[in-house]
Amino acid sequence: MELNEKIMRKYDKRNMFYLLKNFPTHCYEGYSYFIPELNKNFDKIVFTGMGGSAISGDIIKVLLEEKNKLPVFVIRDYVLPEYVDSNSLLIVESYSGDTEETIATLNLGLKKNCSILCVSSNGEIEKISNKKSIPFIKIPTGMPPRCAFGYLFFPIYKFFVEKKLLMPLKKSFFKKIEDWVNDFSSVNNNKAIEISKKIYGNFLLIYSENRFYPGILRWKTQIAENSKSFSSINVLPEMNHNEIMSFYYPNWLIKKMFVLFISSGLENERIKKRIEITSNIISKKVKEVIEIKLEGDDLFEKLIYLIVLGDWVSYYLAMENKVDPTETKEIKILKEDMKKGG
Protein backbone atom coordinates (compact mmCIF):
# COMPACT_ATOMS: atom_id res chain seq x y z
CA MET A 1 0.00 0.00 0.00
CA GLU A 2 1.27 3.48 -0.86
CA LEU A 3 1.19 5.49 2.36
CA ASN A 4 -0.27 8.99 2.13
CA GLU A 5 -2.16 11.50 4.26
CA LYS A 6 -5.55 10.36 2.94
CA ILE A 7 -4.93 6.78 4.13
CA MET A 8 -3.62 8.01 7.48
CA ARG A 9 -6.69 10.17 8.04
CA LYS A 10 -8.93 7.22 7.17
CA TYR A 11 -7.41 4.70 9.57
CA ASP A 12 -5.64 6.84 12.19
CA LYS A 13 -8.95 8.19 13.43
CA ARG A 14 -7.63 9.57 16.74
CA ASN A 15 -4.35 10.93 15.36
CA MET A 16 -1.74 8.70 16.98
CA PHE A 17 0.67 10.15 14.43
CA TYR A 18 0.52 13.42 16.37
CA LEU A 19 1.38 11.70 19.67
CA LEU A 20 4.31 9.83 18.12
CA LYS A 21 5.51 13.02 16.46
CA ASN A 22 5.46 14.79 19.84
CA PHE A 23 7.40 12.07 21.63
CA PRO A 24 10.55 14.27 21.94
CA THR A 25 8.50 16.89 23.80
CA HIS A 26 7.08 14.22 26.12
CA CYS A 27 10.61 13.06 26.95
CA TYR A 28 12.00 16.53 27.59
CA GLU A 29 9.02 17.58 29.69
CA GLY A 30 9.13 14.33 31.63
CA TYR A 31 12.78 14.89 32.45
CA SER A 32 11.98 18.45 33.57
CA TYR A 33 9.48 17.42 36.26
CA PHE A 34 10.06 18.18 39.91
CA ILE A 35 10.98 14.95 41.67
CA PRO A 36 9.70 14.55 45.25
CA GLU A 37 12.15 13.68 48.00
CA LEU A 38 12.52 10.16 49.33
CA ASN A 39 14.88 10.29 52.27
CA LYS A 40 14.62 6.72 53.51
CA ASN A 41 17.43 4.36 52.46
CA PHE A 42 16.65 1.24 50.45
CA ASP A 43 18.57 -1.91 49.56
CA LYS A 44 16.47 -3.03 46.59
CA ILE A 45 14.28 -1.45 43.92
CA VAL A 46 10.93 -2.91 42.87
CA PHE A 47 8.85 -1.62 39.96
CA THR A 48 5.18 -2.53 39.64
CA GLY A 49 3.05 -1.85 36.58
CA MET A 50 1.43 -3.42 33.56
CA GLY A 51 1.81 -2.96 29.81
CA GLY A 52 3.35 0.33 28.74
CA SER A 53 3.66 1.44 32.35
CA ALA A 54 6.05 -1.43 33.17
CA ILE A 55 8.56 -0.86 30.37
CA SER A 56 10.14 1.96 32.40
CA GLY A 57 11.11 -0.55 35.06
CA ASP A 58 12.58 -2.94 32.51
CA ILE A 59 14.85 -0.23 31.10
CA ILE A 60 15.91 1.17 34.48
CA LYS A 61 16.73 -2.38 35.57
CA VAL A 62 19.06 -2.87 32.59
CA LEU A 63 20.75 0.51 33.14
CA LEU A 64 21.22 0.15 36.89
CA GLU A 65 22.52 -3.40 36.65
CA GLU A 66 25.32 -2.20 34.35
CA LYS A 67 27.13 -0.22 37.03
CA ASN A 68 25.32 -0.52 40.36
CA LYS A 69 25.01 -3.25 42.98
CA LEU A 70 21.39 -2.59 43.96
CA PRO A 71 19.09 -5.40 42.77
CA VAL A 72 16.14 -4.30 40.62
CA PHE A 73 12.92 -6.26 40.09
CA VAL A 74 9.92 -5.66 37.83
CA ILE A 75 6.57 -7.09 38.97
CA ARG A 76 3.63 -7.49 36.58
CA ASP A 77 1.10 -9.04 38.94
CA TYR A 78 -1.36 -8.54 41.80
CA VAL A 79 1.12 -9.69 44.45
CA LEU A 80 4.54 -8.73 45.76
CA PRO A 81 7.19 -11.38 46.43
CA GLU A 82 8.23 -12.06 50.03
CA TYR A 83 11.57 -10.29 49.54
CA VAL A 84 9.76 -6.96 49.22
CA ASP A 85 10.01 -5.41 52.68
CA SER A 86 10.50 -2.15 54.58
CA ASN A 87 13.96 -1.76 53.05
CA SER A 88 12.53 -1.79 49.50
CA LEU A 89 11.90 1.15 47.22
CA LEU A 90 8.59 0.46 45.49
CA ILE A 91 7.98 2.45 42.30
CA VAL A 92 4.35 2.21 41.27
CA GLU A 93 3.46 3.22 37.69
CA SER A 94 0.02 3.25 36.12
CA TYR A 95 -0.82 5.78 33.45
CA SER A 96 -4.56 5.71 34.15
CA GLY A 97 -4.10 5.27 37.89
CA ASP A 98 -6.82 2.62 37.84
CA THR A 99 -4.88 -0.51 36.84
CA GLU A 100 -6.21 -3.07 39.29
CA GLU A 101 -3.04 -5.18 39.48
CA THR A 102 -0.94 -2.09 40.24
CA ILE A 103 -3.37 -0.78 42.86
CA ALA A 104 -3.14 -4.17 44.57
CA THR A 105 0.66 -4.00 44.73
CA LEU A 106 0.53 -0.41 46.01
CA ASN A 107 -1.71 -1.48 48.90
CA LEU A 108 0.60 -4.41 49.67
CA GLY A 109 3.59 -2.07 49.60
CA LEU A 110 1.89 0.13 52.18
CA LYS A 111 1.33 -2.91 54.43
CA LYS A 112 5.00 -3.86 54.08
CA ASN A 113 6.06 -0.29 54.96
CA CYS A 114 8.04 0.16 51.75
CA SER A 115 9.38 3.48 50.57
CA ILE A 116 6.97 4.27 47.74
CA LEU A 117 7.00 6.59 44.72
CA CYS A 118 3.93 6.71 42.47
CA VAL A 119 3.61 7.94 38.88
CA SER A 120 0.17 8.39 37.32
CA SER A 121 -2.05 10.81 35.45
CA ASN A 122 -5.11 10.33 37.62
CA GLY A 123 -7.30 7.67 39.18
CA GLU A 124 -7.26 5.62 42.35
CA ILE A 125 -3.47 5.68 42.65
CA GLU A 126 -3.49 9.47 42.87
CA LYS A 127 -6.26 9.29 45.49
CA ILE A 128 -4.32 6.76 47.59
CA SER A 129 -1.12 8.80 47.24
CA ASN A 130 -2.87 11.94 48.47
CA LYS A 131 -4.58 10.13 51.34
CA LYS A 132 -1.41 8.35 52.50
CA SER A 133 1.00 11.24 51.72
CA ILE A 134 2.94 9.12 49.24
CA PRO A 135 5.39 10.99 46.99
CA PHE A 136 3.55 11.34 43.68
CA ILE A 137 4.47 12.46 40.16
CA LYS A 138 1.42 13.60 38.21
CA ILE A 139 1.75 13.33 34.44
CA PRO A 140 -0.59 14.56 31.66
CA THR A 141 -3.80 12.69 31.03
CA GLY A 142 -5.71 12.10 27.78
CA MET A 143 -3.55 9.76 25.74
CA PRO A 144 -3.30 5.98 25.27
CA PRO A 145 -1.01 4.64 28.03
CA ARG A 146 1.41 3.20 25.48
CA CYS A 147 1.89 6.70 24.04
CA ALA A 148 2.85 8.12 27.44
CA PHE A 149 6.24 6.42 27.67
CA GLY A 150 8.12 9.74 27.67
CA TYR A 151 6.15 10.93 30.70
CA LEU A 152 6.28 7.60 32.51
CA PHE A 153 9.98 6.92 32.02
CA PHE A 154 11.94 10.16 32.16
CA PRO A 155 10.78 11.40 35.59
CA ILE A 156 11.90 8.05 37.01
CA TYR A 157 15.22 8.29 35.19
CA LYS A 158 15.67 11.75 36.72
CA PHE A 159 14.86 10.35 40.18
CA PHE A 160 17.81 7.98 39.88
CA VAL A 161 20.00 10.79 38.56
CA GLU A 162 19.24 12.74 41.72
CA LYS A 163 20.10 9.63 43.74
CA LYS A 164 23.43 9.60 41.82
CA LEU A 165 22.71 6.13 40.45
CA LEU A 166 22.38 7.22 36.79
CA MET A 167 24.16 9.85 34.70
CA PRO A 168 22.42 13.16 33.92
CA LEU A 169 21.07 13.57 30.39
CA LYS A 170 22.37 16.29 28.08
CA LYS A 171 20.31 18.40 25.71
CA SER A 172 22.11 16.70 22.82
CA PHE A 173 20.42 13.42 23.78
CA PHE A 174 16.95 14.94 23.38
CA LYS A 175 18.06 16.42 20.06
CA LYS A 176 18.89 12.89 18.89
CA ILE A 177 15.40 11.72 19.80
CA GLU A 178 13.97 14.63 17.82
CA ASP A 179 16.12 13.75 14.81
CA TRP A 180 15.07 10.10 14.94
CA VAL A 181 11.39 11.02 15.15
CA ASN A 182 11.74 13.48 12.27
CA ASP A 183 13.31 10.73 10.16
CA PHE A 184 10.63 8.16 10.96
CA SER A 185 7.72 10.58 10.56
CA SER A 186 8.67 11.43 6.98
CA VAL A 187 6.04 9.47 5.06
CA ASN A 188 7.91 9.62 1.76
CA ASN A 189 10.25 6.83 2.81
CA ASN A 190 12.16 5.79 5.92
CA LYS A 191 13.47 2.74 7.75
CA ALA A 192 10.27 2.25 9.78
CA ILE A 193 8.12 2.21 6.64
CA GLU A 194 10.49 -0.20 4.90
CA ILE A 195 10.35 -2.63 7.82
CA SER A 196 6.56 -2.38 8.13
CA LYS A 197 6.16 -3.28 4.45
CA LYS A 198 8.36 -6.36 4.93
CA ILE A 199 6.41 -7.43 8.02
CA TYR A 200 3.00 -6.93 6.42
CA GLY A 201 1.28 -10.27 5.85
CA ASN A 202 4.09 -12.15 7.61
CA PHE A 203 4.86 -13.38 11.11
CA LEU A 204 7.56 -11.33 12.84
CA LEU A 205 10.27 -12.82 15.04
CA ILE A 206 12.65 -10.47 16.85
CA TYR A 207 15.92 -11.51 18.48
CA SER A 208 18.41 -9.50 20.51
CA GLU A 209 20.94 -9.91 23.28
CA ASN A 210 19.59 -9.82 26.86
CA ARG A 211 20.20 -6.12 27.52
CA PHE A 212 17.87 -5.13 24.68
CA TYR A 213 15.00 -7.30 25.87
CA PRO A 214 13.02 -4.23 27.09
CA GLY A 215 13.25 -2.79 23.58
CA ILE A 216 12.04 -5.88 21.76
CA LEU A 217 9.31 -6.39 24.37
CA ARG A 218 8.15 -2.87 23.53
CA TRP A 219 8.08 -3.86 19.84
CA LYS A 220 5.91 -6.88 20.65
CA THR A 221 3.42 -4.92 22.75
CA GLN A 222 3.21 -2.03 20.28
CA ILE A 223 2.70 -4.37 17.33
CA ALA A 224 -0.05 -6.12 19.30
CA GLU A 225 -1.94 -2.96 20.32
CA ASN A 226 -1.24 -0.66 17.40
CA SER A 227 -0.99 -3.10 14.49
CA LYS A 228 -3.35 -5.79 15.87
CA SER A 229 -0.71 -8.38 14.89
CA PHE A 230 1.13 -11.28 16.46
CA SER A 231 4.90 -11.28 16.87
CA SER A 232 7.41 -13.30 18.87
CA ILE A 233 10.56 -12.27 20.74
CA ASN A 234 13.51 -14.04 22.30
CA VAL A 235 17.09 -13.38 23.36
CA LEU A 236 20.49 -14.81 22.60
CA PRO A 237 22.15 -16.96 23.76
CA GLU A 238 19.02 -18.59 25.28
CA MET A 239 17.20 -19.17 21.97
CA ASN A 240 20.25 -21.05 20.66
CA HIS A 241 19.59 -23.77 23.24
CA ASN A 242 15.99 -24.51 22.25
CA GLU A 243 14.07 -22.22 19.86
CA ILE A 244 16.57 -22.64 17.05
CA MET A 245 15.11 -26.14 16.62
CA SER A 246 11.61 -24.76 15.98
CA PHE A 247 12.04 -23.84 12.32
CA TYR A 248 10.43 -26.97 10.91
CA TYR A 249 6.71 -27.00 11.68
CA PRO A 250 4.14 -25.90 10.84
CA ASN A 251 5.73 -25.45 7.44
CA TRP A 252 3.15 -22.89 6.25
CA LEU A 253 4.06 -20.63 9.19
CA ILE A 254 7.81 -21.00 8.75
CA LYS A 255 7.48 -19.81 5.16
CA LYS A 256 5.70 -16.67 6.39
CA MET A 257 8.30 -15.76 9.02
CA PHE A 258 10.18 -12.50 8.82
CA VAL A 259 13.12 -12.55 11.26
CA LEU A 260 14.75 -9.42 12.63
CA PHE A 261 18.05 -9.46 14.53
CA ILE A 262 18.93 -6.44 16.66
CA SER A 263 22.60 -5.48 16.42
CA SER A 264 23.90 -2.86 18.83
CA GLY A 265 27.63 -3.09 18.27
CA LEU A 266 27.94 -3.52 22.06
CA GLU A 267 27.60 -7.31 22.09
CA ASN A 268 30.50 -9.42 23.26
CA GLU A 269 32.28 -11.40 20.56
CA ARG A 270 30.54 -14.68 21.37
CA ILE A 271 27.09 -13.09 20.98
CA LYS A 272 28.14 -11.50 17.68
CA LYS A 273 29.22 -14.90 16.44
CA ARG A 274 25.97 -16.49 17.61
CA ILE A 275 23.92 -13.86 15.72
CA GLU A 276 25.89 -14.53 12.54
CA ILE A 277 25.62 -18.32 12.77
CA THR A 278 21.95 -18.30 13.82
CA SER A 279 21.06 -15.97 10.98
CA ASN A 280 22.80 -18.25 8.48
CA ILE A 281 20.99 -21.33 9.78
CA ILE A 282 17.45 -19.98 9.81
CA SER A 283 17.73 -17.82 6.67
CA LYS A 284 17.53 -21.04 4.63
CA LYS A 285 14.10 -21.79 6.12
CA VAL A 286 12.20 -18.53 6.67
CA LYS A 287 10.96 -15.90 4.25
CA GLU A 288 13.61 -13.31 5.10
CA VAL A 289 16.17 -12.37 7.74
CA ILE A 290 17.46 -8.85 8.27
CA GLU A 291 19.68 -7.16 10.83
CA ILE A 292 18.95 -3.75 12.32
CA LYS A 293 21.94 -1.75 13.47
CA LEU A 294 20.99 0.56 16.32
CA GLU A 295 21.99 4.20 16.39
CA GLY A 296 23.22 5.95 19.53
CA ASP A 297 26.47 6.29 21.45
CA ASP A 298 25.78 4.00 24.41
CA LEU A 299 23.44 1.35 25.76
CA PHE A 300 20.78 3.82 26.87
CA GLU A 301 20.69 5.77 23.62
CA LYS A 302 20.51 2.57 21.60
CA LEU A 303 17.62 1.28 23.73
CA ILE A 304 15.67 4.49 23.19
CA TYR A 305 16.41 4.40 19.46
CA LEU A 306 15.09 0.82 19.32
CA ILE A 307 11.90 1.87 21.12
CA VAL A 308 11.33 4.90 18.87
CA LEU A 309 11.88 2.81 15.74
CA GLY A 310 9.53 0.08 16.97
CA ASP A 311 6.78 2.55 17.79
CA TRP A 312 6.85 3.93 14.25
CA VAL A 313 7.06 0.45 12.68
CA SER A 314 3.92 -0.55 14.60
CA TYR A 315 2.15 2.61 13.43
CA TYR A 316 2.94 2.07 9.77
CA LEU A 317 2.07 -1.62 10.05
CA ALA A 318 -1.34 -0.54 11.38
CA MET A 319 -1.75 1.52 8.21
CA GLU A 320 -0.77 -1.51 6.10
CA ASN A 321 -3.29 -3.62 8.04
CA LYS A 322 -5.92 -0.88 7.59
CA VAL A 323 -6.71 -0.66 11.31
CA ASP A 324 -7.01 2.17 13.81
CA PRO A 325 -3.77 2.09 15.89
CA THR A 326 -5.47 3.66 18.92
CA GLU A 327 -8.48 1.32 19.17
CA THR A 328 -8.20 -1.49 21.78
CA LYS A 329 -11.69 -3.01 21.81
CA GLU A 330 -10.77 -6.38 23.29
CA ILE A 331 -8.83 -4.84 26.18
CA LYS A 332 -11.84 -2.69 27.03
CA ILE A 333 -14.19 -5.70 26.86
CA LEU A 334 -11.92 -7.65 29.19
CA LYS A 335 -11.73 -4.79 31.71
CA GLU A 336 -15.49 -4.36 31.71
CA ASP A 337 -16.09 -8.08 32.18
CA MET A 338 -13.53 -8.13 35.04
CA LYS A 339 -15.59 -5.51 36.87
CA LYS A 340 -18.71 -7.67 36.81
CA GLY A 341 -19.30 -9.48 40.06
CA GLY A 342 -16.46 -7.69 41.86
**Active site positions, annotated:** 225, 241, 339
End-to-end CA distance of the chain: 46
Strands 203-209 and 115-120: unpaired
User: What distance in Å separates the CA atoms of residue 132 and residue 151, rounded to the nearest whole number?
Assistant: 23
In sequence order, what E strands does the chain have? Answer: 44-48, 72-75, 88-94, 115-120, 136-138, 203-209, 231-236, 257-263, 288-293
Q: Are 46 and 80 in contact (CB under 8 A)?
A: yes
- Give phi and psi for 30, each to the nearest 5: -60, -40
SS3 202: coil
Q: Are 14 and 168 in contact (CB under 8 A)?
A: no
User: What distance in Å separates the CA atoms of residue 223 and residue 82, rounded to the nearest whole number?
Assistant: 34
User: What distance in Å separates the CA atoms of residue 162 and residue 36, rounded to the nearest whole number?
Assistant: 10
Give 3-state DSSP helix, strand, coil % of the chain, rounded to 5: 50, 15, 35
User: What distance in Å separates the CA atoms of residue 17 and residue 55, rounded to the nearest whole number?
Assistant: 21
